[in-house]
Amino acid sequence: MRRYPEYKDDGVEFIGDIPKHWNTIRCAHLFELKHIKKTSGEINLSVYRDYGVIKRNSRNDNYNRVSEDTSNYKLVESGDFVFNKMKCWQGSLGVSEYRGIVSPAYTVCKPKRYFNGKYFHYLLRSQPYIQEFNRLSYGVRIGQWELRFEDFKDIVVPYPSLSEQTQIANFLDRKTEQIDELIRIKERQIELLQEQHTALINQAVTKGLDPNVEMKPSGVEWIGEIPKHWHLTRLKYISNIPVTYGLNIEADRYTTEGIRLIRITDIGEGGSLMQKGVYLPEDCVPQEQMLNSYDLLLSRSGATVGKSYLHLETGKYTSAGYLVRFNFDDYWASKFIYYVTLSHFYRNWLEQQIIISTIQNVNGEKYSNFRLPIPLHQEQKQIVGFLDQKTKQINELITAEQRKIELLKEYRQSLISEAVTGKIDVRNEV
């Protein structure tokens, strides 16, 4: 896209040069601090990094919890600028299109002069300003830095004419919607690939690779038929060790070297182990708690219940208390069981256990009694070899799509930053 004909130095390093006919203004001349307490009959609002100001009940997640005491909540009106004092530097801010209330964690600013709210919504959520909010926030712990209104009001912003603000906002509305639609398409492609991944695994670990093999009822509803020569067993009968719980140990014992402690938070997507982690002194870990090759770790509690990790690393490792451990003969047997934990029928079994216990908890005894179909060792090798190859191909396609999404998001952010600070001229692009 073309640039403006002439630029000038606005004196603000993080913005850079702006179009010659633009002005700059301090936030103190745009906004004033607003602190009106009003809770009766008002909807609850929240501010999200990816969405700006939205109705709290429009998202179904853990952040929808609202305090019973809303007496200190603040009134927000359409056009007000709202930011989370402790997450502003993450992009948790925006110009509201709604009337409602927000918690005391938010700062509410009332406009002092007329401007296009969408333009300033884009401007103040652009990368240069997020970085400036980061710089001005203070505190001793990451995640709890706070941006004070006294610092916010001294920030300088570009101030083109109202008509140009509107042109920029309209351009960005159109372009970001196009980009967001491309991102949605890519995300759907990833969902389909993940569904294909799971279906492929489920088919292989319950039906094998021979489409003409004679089948028999498994006797388990969520497994269905299995090859006639396979047998149904329980996890405890094929594990080389009884189910073993990980270590319950206080975080103040963590060190930067010694024996690596694998926690559920260290297990990434696809069962990979994150490189960075915590360690324990060797005198904290009994020998029987040391991990061996081909140990299978399963999460037993919380939102990650059922998550699995196959330990193939060398070196000294142990596991944390929310993980239970089994062990199998070799790579092929261990990997076959690991693939079982990625199947539909495993997830169906987990759901049944959770329903029975009413809480998201599957303990070691339940895992020990998990029933699964098992082929002979040679067929396990064939199935694992097939799945290793096919899932690698699918995972590579997923990674490629995820990278495209990252690039689209980077382009979206770059386009916004360049448009709102005048680095590109979009007046005739609408």
DSSP structure string for 18-87: EETT-EEEEGGGTEEEE--B--TTPPBEEEETTTEEEEGGGS-SGGG---S--TT-EEE-TT-EEEETTT
**Beta bridge mates, 234:** 371
Strands 18-19, 106-111: pairing kind: unpaired
Which amino acid, 74? K
Residue with more model confidence, 359 or 327: 327
d(CA 78, CA 83): 14
Neighbours of 145 (CB within 10 A): 19
The token duo for 12 is: 């603000």
Contacts of 402 (CB under 8 A, 6+ apart): 190
pLDDT at 139 over 80: no
Confidence bin at 11 (pLDDT 50/70/90) = confident
Least confident range from 194-203, 239-248, 304-313, 357-366: namely 357-366
Residue with more model confidence, 250 or 408: 408
Confidence bin at 62 (pLDDT 50/70/90) = very low
According to CATH, where is 3.90.220.20 located in the chain? 23-159, 209-374
- Tell me, letter by letter, the H, E, C secondary structure of 281-324: CHHHCCHHHECCCCEEEEECEHHHCCCEEEECCCCCEEEECCEE
d(CA 297, CA 244): 9
Least confident range from 36-40, 162-166, 325-329, 382-386: namely 36-40
pTM of structure? 0.82
For residues 323 and 291, the answer to whether their CB atoms sit within 8 Å is: no
Nearest alpha carbon to residue 213 among 198, 202, 203, 201: 203
Give the 3-state secondary structure of residue 248.
Answer: coil
Per CATH, the architecture of 23-159 is what? Answer: Alpha-Beta Complex (3.90)
pLDDT per residue as tens digits for the range 241-289: 999 999 998 888 899 899 999 999 999 877 889 988 999 999 889 999 9
Q: What is the pLDDT of residue 240?
A: 94
pLDDT per residue as tens digits for the range 18-27: 999 999 999 9
Mean pLDDT of the chain: 89
pLDDT per residue as tens digits for the range 70-119: 778 889 888 888 888 877 667 788 888 889 988 888 889 999 888 898 99
Give the class (CATH, top level) of 209-374: alpha beta
Instruction: Determine the average pLDDT of the residues in 382-408.
Output: 97
Nearest alpha carbon to residue 375 among 158, 257, 215: 215
pLDDT at 142 over 60: no
End-to-end CA distance of the chain: 13
